[in-house]
């Protein structure tokens, strides 16, 4: 396994010179390279990893943790979050909107099953053009949204067997419980269904969202704690932070609260060894600017938001930093 330590010298990159929220993200990157264990992993690429870090972000006044040291395609992250809320698990609706972030896993499965050396562009084009092909090869299994809005239940039958019962819409339940019982400690959306993990293209990384109401009346604030059991800090985390902030904002609006704080906690928090160039480039940049996320309307239901309902302002990021996904 190659060593990343020679590629990046954490002490040589800029250090925090202010209180911009993004410094904590860069400090996390730096800490992983300086202190992390070098580990073999499922993908065969290898990572450098730490366990249990925490980041905190203020969501008041439309603040949003959208990185400025590289461009994050926030509309793709927003479309992914809206897709989760539909309960859909097929990549076709995402591809129809130009979102390709989930293509790698079904593409790898197709290549392995058929032996066909199809390009990603051609695979995605077939998913969009052919409904039957999409149904067979574009589905990811019961990932994220399926668990969020249709968690399976089973009921006992008189003959000693169990049959499928009505699914549980965790998102709807959380919105309702926040309205009716704000002090509850059970405002949780859970994606980790142990019984169905082996059916998923990828088990949920950002697996548990817990919501908490602080304060009372018009000043009551909705906080969110996201636990992410596995975190690709370079590629995944920027999307996950924006998505969690957006979900918190939507739920806060629907339940009648001001946005409060997003608290992110990582389990295995890592950088891939083949991302050394990405890390070196990003750590050489300094955060600047304060992007804002505006919700332009409040629909009747959290499931009725559309991409046109969101606007990001004051976002002038530095250039894109591209890196390969480890599948």
Q: How many domains does the chain have?
A: 1
Q: H or E segment at 293? A: strand 292-295
Q: Has residue 163 been placed in a domain?
A: no
Q: Which domain holds residue 309?
A: 19-75+170-313
Residue 213 domain-assigned?
Answer: yes
Residues acting as catalytic residues: 205
Would 248 be classed as within a structural domain? Answer: yes
- Over residues 231-288, the pLDDT tens digits come to 999 999 999 999 999 999 999 999 999 999 999 999 999 999 999 988 999 999 999 9
In a domain, 31, yes or no: yes
**Tell me: the pLDDT tens digits for 131-165?**
999 999 999 999 999 999 999 999 988 888 888 99
CATH of the domain at 53: 3.30.572.10
Rounded to whole angstroms, how far apart are CA atoms 294 and 304?
16
Report yes or no: 13 and 30 within 8 Å, Cβ to Cβ. Answer: yes
The answer as to whether 134 is a domain residue is no
Q: Is 102 inside any structural domain?
A: no
Q: What number of other Cβ atoms are within 10 A of residue 286's Cβ?
A: 18
Residue 62 in tokens: 């439309």
* Site of tokens 């019962």: 165
Q: How far apart are CA 208 and CA 268, in angstroms?
A: 15
Q: Give yes or no for a contact between 106 and 133, defined as CB atoms under 8 angstroms apart.
A: no
Burial of 32 by CB count in 10 Å (0-12 exposed, 13-18 middle, 19+ buried)?
buried
Q: Does residue 290 lie in a domain region?
A: yes
Within a domain: 53: yes
């Amino acid at each position: 396994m190659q060593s990343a330590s020679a590629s990046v010298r954490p002490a040589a990159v800029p250090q925090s010179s202010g209180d911009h929220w993004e410094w904590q993200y860069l400090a996390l990157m730096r800490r992983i390279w300086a202190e992390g264990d070098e580990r073999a992993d499922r993908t065969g690429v290898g990572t450098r990893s730490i366990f249990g870090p925490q980041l905190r972000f203020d969501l008041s006044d439309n603040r949003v943790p959208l990185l400025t040291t590289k461009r994050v395609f926030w509309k793709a992250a927003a479309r992914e979050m809206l897709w989760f809320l539909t309960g859909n698990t097929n990549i076709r609706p995402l591809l129809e909107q130009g979102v390709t972030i989930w293509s790698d896993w079904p593409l790898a499965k197709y290549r392995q099953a058929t032996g066909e050396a199809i390009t990603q562009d051609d695979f995605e084009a077939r998913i969009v053009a052919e409904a039957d092909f999409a149904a067979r090869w574009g589905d990811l299994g019961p990932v994220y949204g399926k668990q969020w809005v249709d968690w399976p239940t089973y009921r006992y039958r008189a003959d000693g067997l169990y049959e499928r019962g009505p699914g549980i819409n965790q998102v709807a339940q959380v919105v309702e419980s926040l309205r009716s019982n704000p002090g509850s400690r059970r405002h949780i959306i859970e994606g980790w269904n142990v019984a169905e993990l082996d059916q998923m293209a990828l088990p949920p990384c950002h697996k548990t969202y817990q919501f908490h109401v602080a304060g009372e009346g018009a000043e009551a604030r909705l906080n969110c704690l996201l636990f992410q059991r596995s975190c690709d800090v370079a590629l995944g985390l920027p999307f996950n932070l924006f998505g969690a902030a957006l979900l918190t904002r939507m739920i806060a609006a629907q339940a009648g609260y001001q946005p409060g704080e997003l608290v992110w906690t990582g389990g295995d928090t890592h950088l891939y060894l083949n991302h050394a160039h990405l890390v070196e480039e990003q750590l050489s940049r300094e955060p600047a600017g304060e992007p804002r996320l505006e919700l332009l309307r409040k629909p009747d239901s959290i499931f009725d938001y559309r991409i046109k309902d969101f606007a990001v302002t004051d976002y002038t990021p530095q250039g894109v930093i591209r890196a390969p996904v480890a599948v």
